[in-house]
Amino acid sequence: MDRLLTGRATMSNGSLTAAALAVEADVHRMALMKRHADLKNEFFERVRTETTQIPENEKRLRRTVAQLKRTIADQNAEIHDLRQQVTRLTLAAAVLTHDRPAAPAADPSNVIPLREALSTPRDLERPGWQ
């Protein structure tokens, strides 16, 4: 841990990551994560307090958070625009339906009368009622 924090790594690339810490300690990375989680947490705490560098995982998280904030801002702007568009379209539809002229009266010359309704089954036997 001390070699990484002072920049004198001998076995790893010197990055301030859990993988580099595991290489410097000559243990498997998963052993560091599972069995020695307290040492890993202590390492990251010391990285924050003793160095001016930010751990890689924290950098990635900060980039992801910034990207998600931009996405949320873009989506909120789009929602705002869509709500305004819905309001404008609703008003336009109301104006178009309100100012519509009344339907013309039906022309009685083009009305065709319907046949009488059948009242009994015997009516079916009458000619012309098929």
pLDDT tens for residues 58-116? Answer: 888 999 999 999 999 999 999 999 999 999 999 998 888 876 666 666 666 776 666 66
Whether residues 62 and 24 share a domain: the answer is no
Side-chain half-sphere exposure of 53, counting CA atoms within 13 A = 15
User: Is residue 75 domain-resident?
Assistant: yes
Domain span holding position 77? 56-95
Q: How far is the C-alpha of 5 from the C-alpha of 107, rounded, in Å? A: 96
Whether residues 31 and 71 share a domain: the answer is no
Q: Cα dihedral sign for 26, 32, 35, 38?
A: positive
User: Is residue 111 domain-resident?
Assistant: no
Whether residues 37 and 74 share a domain: the answer is no
User: Is residue 29 domain-resident?
Assistant: yes
pTM for this structure? 0.43
Side-chain half-sphere exposure of 130, counting CA atoms within 13 A = 2
Contact predicate 24/12, CB 8 Å: yes
